[in-house]
A and B are shown apart, each in its own frame.
Chain A
Amino acid sequence: MLDKKQMITIKGTREGLSLFIEESASFDDAIKELNEKIMASKPKKDEPVVSVKVKLGNRYLNEEQEQVLRRIISGENRFHIESIESELIRIEDALKWQEESEIKAINRIVRSGQVLYIKGDLLLIGDVNPGGKVIATGNIYIMGNLYGIAHAGSEGDRDAFIAASYMKPTQLRIADYISRAPDYEADGVYMECGIIDEEQDKIIIDSLKILSHKRKEISGFERRMNNG
């Protein structure tokens, strides 16, 4: 008596509608029932657009299926898909996610002309010499001297930062921001970090203390979860 069982459940909440799709039902059956339900309950022209959260449970949608779903719900009907949530994630995506959220520890000297590129956070135990370059999609932590170029958040993460035991960098880059060393001879700084300051709209170098209130997320796992 499977077909008697509801495959689609719609619940109203304060934020909008939640649409549950029974995970054991076949996709085609579920879509069929969804079509009927949507047609029956779609808002009228003069009513406001309703936002919908789609909850898939333990079901994974491939791109094609997701498009079908989106077309039915938001296509001609006056629904707006707020999110599609699934408990599942592909191994491929999970590995990529893991790679991007890991801290990679590397013990070497990045010498002039060398480039070290890392996905995720970089923990470099060693120096970056003048002319050397380190790039990471996440944060850069250097236990050593930073004389060369460091580029954190290389894929656009403006919350990334660069911390070093000692820094006298040629350039600091964070996401699409670049700052360079002054033209006059200046001393380097110990135990400081480079970070984007929203108000000044540029990279500033400050003591590591500011991280504890400006980048609270680094101590938790959540930041990396969110980044993924």
Chain B
Amino acid sequence: MGEAIVITSGKGGVGKTTTSANIGTALALMEKKVCLIDTDIGLRNLDVVMGLENRIIYDIVDVIQGRCKLKQALIKDKRFDYLSLLPAAQTSDKTAVTISGMKEIVAELKQEYDYIIIDCPAGIEQGFQNAIAGADRAIVVTTPEKSSVRDADRIVGLLEKEDMKESPSLVINRIRNHMMKSGDMIDVDDIVQLLSIDLIGIVIDDDEVIKASNKGEPIALSPNSKASIAYRNIARRILGETVPLQSLEDDKGVLMRVKKFLGMRG
């Protein structure tokens, strides 16, 4: 029996879809069976980020309205056998998806997959309610900006009213270290203190992420980029491992520290 995790944020453009794609990919890299669900009806793009747009035949609305079986709508990832995607509809009416329909789909997928990652649309309307309906836990994505943290707080409040097995956890995305240091961005600690939920990962703002998503290759596949390691760490924490938070220092900093360490020994 798998676990369904909804990736949500309230505010748009903070990286829900990128986070969904990369956590899903990272979990698949660890040989977990993962199914991604895009619930942003009318504005789907999880398929684009995953590079699977050209394979879509049926979508989630077709499944709910009974035009196809769930298995027919699932798209197998081109890189892993372990990873599938249930795409959102691009044209259909938003109201086609219902809470009970979502619950059914998630329950069916949970039989077969270890993790169901649900990409939630922005906002707190019906689309949000649908996306969280079948989830066992939630990951709230925020960036170190006031408006984004404010919306994350609102979302956490709404999630707390739901009957989820676990309390929501937090991903802070798009961290720019130099701005955080100079105090121009809200500190990681301040965000965690304000939202008072568990921090499950921090992801540095990395140009590679944009490049990768434009290519349809999730960054989690690249071996060395900082963002990639960050997403893989999040996946490991989801699996229950204890992984220390990534250092925000840039590479130079790390090198300096190694030198210092060697110097101390020598």
Contact A113 B196 (CB under 8 A): no
**Distance of A147 from chain B, by nearest CB (Å):** 8
Task: Return chain A residues, CB-CB under 8 Å to B195.
Answer: 129
Task: Report B60-92 CB contacts with A as 1/0, cut-off 8 Å.
Answer: 000000000000000000000000000000000
- Total count of chain B residues near the partner, CB < 8 A: 11
Q: What does the 1/0 interface line of B174-205 toward A look like (CB < 8 Å)?
A: 00000000000000000000111000000000
Cβ 8 A contact of B157, one of A114, A130, A147: A114
Q: Which of B141-179 contact A (CB under 8 A)?
A: 146, 150-151, 153-154, 156-157, 160
Task: Pick from B146, B157, B194: contact of A113, CB below 8 A.
Answer: B157
- Give the residues in chain A near B153, CB-CB below 8 Å: 111-112, 129-132
For residue A109, CB closer than 8 A to chain B, the reply is: yes
| Residue ID in chain A nearest B153 by CB atoms | A112
Is A121 an interface residue when CB atoms closer than 8 A count as contact?
Answer: no
Give B146 Cβ to nearest chain A Cβ, in Å: 8
A64-86: CB near B (< 8 Å → 1, else 0) gives 00000000000000000000000
What is the bound-complex CA distance between A129 and B195, given in angstroms? 8
Bound Cα distance A129, B146 (Å): 12
Question: Does A100 belong to the interface (CB within 8 Å)?
Answer: no
Q: Is the CB of A112 within 8 A of B157?
A: yes
A130 and B150 in contact, given A111-B157, A112-B157, A114-B157 (Cβ under 8 angstroms): yes
Who on chain B is nearest to A130 by CB? B150
A112 B196 Cβ-Cβ under 8 A: no
Which residues of the other chain, B, contact A113 by a CB distance below 8 angstroms? 154, 157
Chain A min CB distance to B172 (Å): 16
Pick 10 A–B contacts, CB within 8 A, sort by A.
Answer: A109-B157, A109-B196, A111-B153, A111-B154, A111-B160, A112-B154, A127-B196, A129-B194, A130-B194, A131-B150
* Chain B residues engaging chain A, CB cutoff 8 angstroms: 146, 150-151, 153-154, 156-157, 160, 194-196
